Amino acid sequence: MLRIYEKLNKSLKPNKVFQVQLFSTGLRHSSTQQQQDIEPVEKKSPSEEFRQKRVRFNIKAENIQGRPLYLDAQATTPLDPRVLDAMLPYLTNFYGNPHSRTHAYGWESERAVEKAREQVAHLIGADPKEIIFTSGATESNNIAVKGVARFYGTKKKHVITTQTEHKCVLDSCRALENEGFRVTYLPVEPNGIIDMQKMEKALTPDTALVSVMTVNNEIGVKQPVAEIGKLCRSKKVFFHTDAAQAVGKIPINVNDMNIDLMSISGHKIYGPKGVGALYVRRRPRVRLEPVQSGGGQERGLRSGTVPAPLAVGLGSAAELAQQEMEYDSKWIDFLSKRLLDRLTKALPQVIRNGDPEQTYNGCLNLSFAYVEGESLLMALKDVALSSGSACTSASLEPSYVLRAIGADEDLAHSSIRFGIGRFTTIEEVDYTADKCIKHVERLREMSPLWEMVQEGIDLKSIQWSQH
């Protein structure tokens, strides 16, 4: 560089010297910059990287104050304060038995119960006389499945249901099998929805009843209830649907959908626990054999005193659900999309279980690959969530619903159900998403399987040895 500078300095006039000096300075600067660019960036030492991860994933400093957030709306919903207001008079002053016909205490309770019957009927497009009050959807399912099968059992001995039904329907069908009935458990597609062609093939002249739930309680998929109802009506087969997770959340009309029997739960629609209803069609008439004996209340189909305060609560909840269904649906769709987008953008390998289109968005079932669902639930102790159905979550076996849709056992074990409801807020959803992201990353950091996947190893190709 100096030789070039001297030659240029001699050959140029004095007034050009300053320009050459600038030129040489620029060259020196650029060469120095190139040297700096070439120098390798210092990597963090393993100990420093470990220290940063330890700070990031630290859970010891977490102080939980108050009660957890509630995101388990498929297990139960909080009682709407307006429903409580409607119930209170019948828990205090109006305490008469609605079946007492000889005095005013009974008459006023009976009026309240009949009004509630009308409110429930109006929600599903039925006649009030077709509504039977029960203790909940489990009892309604038992009466419908066992009652119809036993009444028509001398002529028809075949029942059809699906592999993803609620436990009480599956157990009722098993009880019928012990009584000599033949039960077909239809498989579902990988998206959780039944194949209508398989349904049609399964129907025989010996079929008395088809029972398919409207919205699944674990993965939220909606079955083609209207198509099933039309098919059953054409074959003169009674159609029952467990609509505990659907009534008050999606539009349902029993006449348009050709539904003959429908189970309803109070505490799934912001009503009280311990009350439900069973819709039983009158034309064409559906006959049932009562499951329990007694005083012949509720058209002789469900003996026992109707609890007036609970029936009033169910009626009030049904009326509110009808009034606010459109608003609730938009709000829940918005929150569900917000939660799903936030999780899937931040975390790889998050799998949604069930069909993404034919679904009720308030039930969002996600599997986080290489994370144990129970471990994640324990980490998210300030959020009330579920790893599956509340009815079967006491078992550590993977969900039978996820097994039925063909989910791998490891993914079935890593599933979490997020239940969003009427009173869920944006802040609750954002908090849950952020906590979930943090703990999934933390648990994956501890997982040797996740480390192997990051290195490009196909876990399915490995033959694990047993000791």
Of the candidates 318, 288, 358, the residue with the CA atom closest to the CA atom of residue 86: 318
User: Tokens standing for 31?
Assistant: 């060469």
Residue recorded with tokens 């064409």: 284
Active site residues: 391
Of the candidates 445, 371, 370, 451, the residue with the CA atom closest to the CA atom of residue 54: 445
Say how many C-beta atoms besides its own lie within 10 A of residue 183's C-beta: 20
Residue recorded with tokens 């001398």: 154
The amino acid at 150: R
- Tell me, what DSSP letter sits at residue 358? S
| Pairwise CA distance, residues 106 & 93, whole Å | 12
Residue 360 phi/psi, 5-degree rounding, is -95, 115
82 Cβ contact list (under 8 Å, min separation 6): 316, 320
CA dihedral angle for residue 305, residue 310, residue 316, residue 320, rounded to 10 degrees: -130
Of the candidates 83, 346, 371, 365, the residue with the CA atom closest to the CA atom of residue 221: 365
Beta-strand relationship, 69-70 and 383-384: parallel
Give the burial class of 403: count Cβ atoms within 10 A of its Cβ; 0-12 exposed, 13-18 middle, 19 or more buried: middle
